[in-house]
Amino acid sequence: MGDRSMGCLMDWQGQMLAEQLMQIMISSFAVMAFLGGYALDSFEIMLLVYAGVVVLTSVITVFNWPFFNSHPLNWLPQGGCEASKARVLSEHKPKC
């Protein structure tokens, strides 16, 4: 789905940020577009501004930008905790 090409997936904090950012951006800019269109007496202006807002928001929140991955998860190594323990005993370095 395009995630691999940008490196890691978004982390959980990033996902929450993306969702909140999306909702806040669209709703607040929609209010501004509505008031602007009403003041300028132009329905077309409201729709154009809103279309621009949606495009801008989708560029910012839908793609996997690096700032969405600032709290990356530390996944356990493959094989699970037991396998990792076995590996660790041979390396004298506890990991989990």
Q: Does 67 bind other proteins (CB under 8 A)?
A: no
Q: Does 71 bind other proteins (CB under 8 A)?
A: no
Among 7, 13, 32, 33, binds other proteins (CB under 8 A): 33
Q: Which stretch binds other proteins (CB under 8 A): 32-40, 72-80, 82-90?
A: 32-40
**Cα–Cα distance, 60 to 63 (Å, whole number):** 7
Contacts with other proteins by CB under 8 A lie at 1-3, 9-10, 15-16, 18-19, 22-23, 26-27, 30, 33-34, 37-38, 41-43, 46, 50, 54, 57-58, 61-64
